Amino acid sequence: MKTPDLLRVPLLGRFFRWRYSRFALQVPLLLVALLALYDGFFGRQLAPKNFATVSVWLHYRGFLVLAIAVLGNLFCAACPMLLVRGPTRFAKRFLPEFKWPRALCNKYFVIALTLFYLFAYEYWDLWASPWLTAWLILGYFGVAFVVDTLFPEGTFCKYVCPLGNFNFTLSTVSPTQITARDPEVCLSCEGKYCVNGRVETPSGRKTLREAPNAEGVRYPGCETKLYVPQIKSNMDCTLCMNCVRACPYDNVAWKLRAPGTEPAWARYKIDVVWLGVLLFFAGFMNAFAMVPPYYQLAEHLAEVLGTRNEAVLLSTIYVLWTGLGLFLTLGVTTLADRVSGVRASPLKAVRFWGSGFFPLAFAMWAGHYAFHFLTGWASIIPVTQQALANLGLPVGEPDWTLAALVPENWLYPLQVAILYLGLLAASYVLFRRARERNHFLAGGIVFTYFFLLVALALWVLAQPMEMRGTLLLPQ
C-alpha cells in the first residue's frame, strides 16, 4: 500500500531539504536553553516559579511525548546540544579523534547512564531545583562537546545520550519513518550518499567518506550510520534529514505509517529490547515515586534495613524494582517460548517477545507526563515573563494563577485511555509474534503479564500525588 510521504507536502518538503532547516529548528530551543540557564542560576530558586524547572520538567517532556505521538522524534531534530558541532569541529583540528570502543557500541552504556540519571533525579530532587536543572543543561552541553570532539560525530547521540535514546525508543511507536522512495534506485546508487555523505566538487561528485577534505558543496550523511533502503525502525534516527539532502536522486521519503506497529515487525537487538523494557519499569518508578505508597514502602524498608540513609534506600528500591522487572520479563517470555515449543535461550525469548514493551513504555511515560503538562501548561507564561523581567525587559506582571489546560477530573480518564492504547498496541505486537509461532496461548501468557503491569500502573496513577523531596519524614 502506498502511504503518504511528508516530504511531498509542498512547504514541509522544501523546508526539510533546505540546508539550514535543522539550524532553524535548533535556534528556538537554544534560546529556551539559554533562558533556562540564566533563570536557573540567577532566578528565584522555586521550581514552579522558575523558567528552568518549568520549561525542562514540564514543557520539554510534555511536548516531547506529544511530538513523538503525533509525528516523530522532532526533539532530536531540534536538539540545541548539537550546536556544539561548530566548536567541536574547531577543537578536532588540534585533538586526536578516537574510535568509540567496540564493547560500548550498544545500548548497555546508555542503560547504565539512564539508571544513574533516574537515581540522580530522585536523590537530588532535580525536578525541585532550578539551580541543579541549570547545571544539568550545562553539563549536557559539556558532555556533548567532549564526546563529539574526541569521537566521530554521531557517537554522542547513538551511544551516550540518555535523552536521545529515550526518544529513539519511544519513537518506535511514531506514525512516521524515513525510508527509500524506490529501493531499485538505491540498488544502482554508486555512492550510498545517504550514509556516506556527498560532496559536489568541481571535478565531480564524491562521497565525504572517500574525500573528507574535498572542496565543494558538502552534504553530510547519516551520523548514526543508518542506510536508508535498509531502515526498518526509527531507532537511532534523529530526524536530522541529512539523508534527504545527501541523496542526489531525491529518493528519501518521510512516510506515514500505522502508529505503534513497528515493534511488531522490526527485529531489535537484545540491548535495544532491554532498553525498552527498562524504560517501562523506569517510567513506572518515576510515577510511583510521587505517590504515598512509595513513601510508606521507604519507611518500611528503612525499618527492615535499619538505616535511614536515603541513597541506600533509593538504590535498594530501584535495584529491587528494575531487577524484579527484568527477572519477571525473562521468566514470562521464556515460559511463552517453552509453551510454544521453542527451546531457545531466555535472552532469545526476551528478544522475541520483549519489543511489546515499546508501546507500553511510551504509554507509561506519556500518561505520567500528560498529567503534569496538562495541569500546569500555562505556567510557562508567567515564568517566561518573570525570567524576561529579570533580564530587564518590560513584559508586564506575571499572572501565577494561570495553570491548567483541561479540567482536573479529565486527567485520570485520559491517562487510562493512553495506557489502554499502549496495551492495545502491545497486544498487536504479541499477536503478530504469536502468529509467527502459530501458538496464541504463548502470546496470551505475555499479554496477561502486560495486562497486570498496566493494571498496576493504573493503580499508581490513581493515587493522590505527593510531591516530596525527602524520602523519609523527620523522626
Partner 1 sequence: MRRLFLLALVLLSGCRPKTGEPLEAKVRFVPEHPTVGKAEVCIEVDPRLELVRVEVVGDMTHAGMIPVEAEAHPAGPGLWRVEDFDFNMRGDWVLTITAYDKKGKKYVKEVRLTVP
Residues that bind partner 1 (CB under 8 A): 38, 42, 44, 46-50, 53-54, 57-58, 125, 127-128, 292, 372-373, 375-377, 379, 389-392, 400-401, 403-404, 464-470, 473
238 sits near ligand SF4 (criterion: CB under 6 A): yes
Nearer to ligand SF4, 240 or 289 (CB): 240
Eight-class DSSP state of 471: S
Cell numbers standing for residue 283: 517510567
Eight-class DSSP state of 106: S
Q: Using the rule CB under 6 A, which residue among 52, 56, 118, 186 binds ligand SF4? A: 186
Size of the site for ligand SF4 (CB under 6 A): 24
| Shortest Cβ 416–ligand SF4 spacing (Å) | 34
Please count the other Cβ atoms lying within 10 Å of the Cβ belonging to residue 198: 24
**Strands 198-201, 176-180: pairing kind:** unpaired
Contact 22, 28 (CB under 8 A): no
Q: Using the rule CB under 6 A, which residue among 21, 149, 167, 251 binds ligand SF4? A: 251
Write the burial class of residue 15 (CB in 10 Å: 0-12 exposed, 13-18 middle, 19+ buried).
middle
* Residues, the chain: 475
Nearer to partner 1, 171 or 386 (CB): 386
| Shortest Cβ 276–partner 1 spacing (Å) | 27
| Shortest Cβ 391–partner 1 spacing (Å) | 6
Residue 469 interaction partner, one of ligand SF4, partner 1, none, beta carbon < 5-8 Å per kind = partner 1
| Shortest Cβ 76–ligand SF4 spacing (Å) | 8
Please count the other Cβ atoms lying within 10 Å of the Cβ belonging to residue 187: 9
192 sits near ligand SF4 (criterion: CB under 6 A): yes
Q: Using the rule CB under 6 A, which residue among 36, 54, 239, 461 binds ligand SF4? A: 239
Sheet of 198-201: strand order equals: 204-207, 198-201, 217-219
Residue 26 interaction partner, one of ligand SF4, partner 1, none, beta carbon < 5-8 Å per kind = none
Q: CA 8 to CA 420: how far, in whole Å? A: 33
Stretch in the footprint of ligand SF4 (CB under 6 A) among 142-150, 222-230, 313-321, 417-425: 222-230
428 sits near ligand SF4 (criterion: CB under 6 A): no
| Shortest Cβ 42–partner 1 spacing (Å) | 6
**CB-hemisphere CA count at 13 Å for 7?**
20
Please count the other Cβ atoms lying within 10 Å of the Cβ belonging to residue 365: 26
Which of 285, 196, 271 has its CA nearest to residue 236?
271
Kindly write down the DSSP assignment for every residue of 188-213, as one continuous string.
T-SS-HHHH-EEEETTEEEETTT-TT
Nearer to ligand SF4, 150 or 185 (CB): 185
x/- contact string, 454-473, with ligand SF4 (CB under 6 A)?
Answer: --------------------
| Residues ≥6 apart with Cβ < 8 Å to 431 | 440, 443
**Interface with ligand SF4 (CB under 6 A):** 178, 180, 185-186, 189, 192-194, 222, 224, 226, 228-229, 237-243, 247, 249, 251-252
